[in-house]
Structure 1
Amino acid sequence: MLASLEGLDHLVVMVRNLDAAADRWRALGFTLSPRGTHSAHLGTGNYTIMFGVDYVELLGVLHETELNAPSRAFLDRRGEGIERAAFTTSDAVAGVSALRARGIDARAPIEFSRPVDLPGGRRAEAAFSVFHWPVEQRPADLRIFACQHHTRDTVWMPGLQTHPNTATGLACVEIVTPTPAEAAAQLAGLIDGRAQPCDAGVRVATAPGRGDFLFLTQDAFIARRPSAPREALPAEGVAALVLHVADLGAAARSAGAAAVVGASSVTVGADRASGAMVVFEPRDPIEPKSINEK
């Protein structure tokens, strides 16, 4: 991968109402961080769902700024859903230099922070440096950026990493597009990765132990996820987030009536999860009977 990149870091779910979205994700068995407010020039707030090395971010616009204009445009165009994918970077300045050396016009890193409530009533700051690929270079309508965490201990707090549904991390981002090969090749070119054809579509891996991207046609996605209504799919964009879980039975019980239980997965429709289907799958194969064991 591109110099300084270390794999998929987190996914940004754009939502219209932060607190309502947080309630929906809690109802699926996720532990959420307290609500955060970013630096004023970003104009956004968030909740995070933390795993071992990666996470999901629910992001809402609190007031309009130049920097959140692309996110507002996404909400106007698509509605709620996964708008961005972030890669971990060990050095945001080096990452920008590497992109510019490849002829990609990346802006200087953006610095920002948000206050964090710590156990025992203490408060601290979570600080970040991020850089974005140009907004027009978004494979299958997915923007990408990179995030350098300066204060990992204020983000990956142990109490936030245990979930009633037993989710442990990002497995795959499933993206529908009329042109999977072209979209995958575009993403691979932007991160200096590889696009590899597979049975379902074209896959772009990020790093060992980190989530990857799977590009599919709508027909291939429906064949893979038959509970998804075709009319609810975007013409192009993220259709499903696949998460590893330790216990599929716990995932099914946590999701309750929202769960569609299959032989080796538990699925929650996009209407229950802010615009993107959520699929729980075990890291290792299991016997189908264990999904429903109490």
Structure 2
Amino acid sequence: MALKNVIGIDHAVVMVKDLDKAAENYKRLGFTVSPRGTHSAHMGSGNYTIMFDPDYMELLGVLQPTEHNAPARAYLEKNGEGIERIAFTAVDSAEGAEEIRARGYPPVGPTDFERPVTMPDGTVSAAKFRTFQWPTAEAPGGVRIFACQHKTRETVWIPELMKHANGAKRLKQVLMVAPAPATEAAHLAKMIDRETRNEADGAVVVPSGGDRADFVFLTKDQLGKRYPGVSLAGLPERGGAGLVIVADVVAAEKALGAAGVKSAGGVVVPPADGNGTMLAFVKG
């Protein structure tokens, strides 16, 4: 029985070494990037968001080492930049935490935090969240998962931030590479109470819920065959590999310029040019 308080992918977290340089890179790729946010002191991190509808991307960096961000620092040390965790939308984080506890996963949290937000008119407001995590050790495909309850959606989904020169509209898939895709997919499916689906090329899909993006688990070799001509240099053998983004492909091709590679009916940014994250822009 599916979780009642977790309703699909909310955002993908791309862990980066230099937060401001990563933001400049994503601007060059045609994304509208939010002003920089600074999280609560115990988190020791900062971010930039790239807003879609109904989901988004987050560029996350460590500003000050803390106990809270130790796993993120360990990830960077081991893997370099890339998709470090995926957030689900939480309807109610307190109740969601109890739901996963009942399924045998002791939750981390719920934790309340906020960050200042400069609104388009120049005023400063706050984005407030309540999150909970599945146990850190439970990381299917090497990617941690957590759930995020937005208490102030109006300070996150700001219309001016949702229009992108590359035509990006929403997330369609999170691509996860692993030597044993079926095993990793089954692990995630159990954690979020969903069923897996097999694809013709051997990849295994885990729907995240509702109308949100799917997880696709596949080997690095399978990923290369799906996206011929795209260099996968820098990707780990096991970990978050990329994001498939519904977009205006003509606008994406124009905005990306030399960074874009035509492949699989769309245009793709190789991981080396996307801070460790492959970005595949496709038609809806």
Structure 1 length-normalised TM: 0.94
Deviates more, 1:40-49 or 1:115-124: 115-124
1:173-252, aligned counterparts within 5 Å? Answer: 173-200=174-201, 201-245=203-247, 247-252=248-253
Q: 1:12 to 1:104 in 2, by over 3 A?
A: same
Counterparts of 2:263 and 2:228 in 1: how far apart (Å)?
A: 10
Amino acid aligned to 2:48: Y
Shift of 1:232: 2.9
Q: 1:263 to 1:79 in 2, by over 3 A?
A: closer
Provide, for residues 72-108 of structure 1, a one-character-per-residue CA deviation record: whole Å limited to 9, x for no partner: 0000000000000000001000011011111111122
Shift of 1:3: 2.3
Residue 91 of structure 2 corresponds to 90
Residue 70 of structure 2 corresponds to 69
Q: Is the 8 A contact 2:185 2:217 kept in 1?
A: yes
SS for the counterpart of 1:232 is coil
Counterparts of 2:41 and 2:229 in 1: how far apart (Å)?
A: 41
Residue 136 of structure 1 corresponds to 137
Aligned length: 282
Shift of 1:209: 2.4
Provide, for residues 52-86 of structure 1, a one-character-per-residue CA deviation record: whole Å limited to 9, x for no partner: 11000000000011110000000000000000000
Gaps of 5+ in 2: none
RMSD: 1.1
Q: 1:218 to 1:119 in 2, by over 3 A?
A: closer
Shift of 1:263: 5.8
Q: Is the 8 A contact 2:204 2:216 kept in 1?
A: yes
Residue 286 of structure 1 corresponds to none
Counterparts of 1:174 and 1:7 in 2: how far apart (Å)?
A: 15
Gaps of 5+ in 1: 284-294
Q: Is the 8 A contact 2:105 2:134 kept in 1?
A: yes
Q: 1:230 to 1:274 in 2, by over 3 A?
A: closer
Q: Does 1:100 align with 2:98?
A: no
Shift of 1:240: 1.6
Q: 1:263 to 1:101 in 2, by over 3 A?
A: closer
Amino acid aligned to 1:276: T
SS for the counterpart of 1:119 is coil
Residue 292 of structure 1 corresponds to none
Q: Is the 8 A contact 2:227 2:263 kept in 1?
A: no
Residue 43 of structure 1 corresponds to 44
Q: 1:155 to 1:257 in 2, by over 3 A?
A: same
Q: 1:205 to 1:120 in 2, by over 3 A?
A: same
Identity %: 48
Residue 123 of structure 1 corresponds to 124
Shift of 1:214: 0.4
Q: 1:264 to 1:253 in 2, by over 3 A?
A: same
Shift of 1:120: 1.9
Structure 2 length-normalised TM: 0.97
Residue 173 of structure 2 corresponds to 172
Counterparts of 2:215 and 2:67 in 1: how far apart (Å)?
A: 29
Shift of 1:199: 1.4
Deviates more, 1:221-230 or 1:14-23: 221-230
Shift of 1:230: 4.9
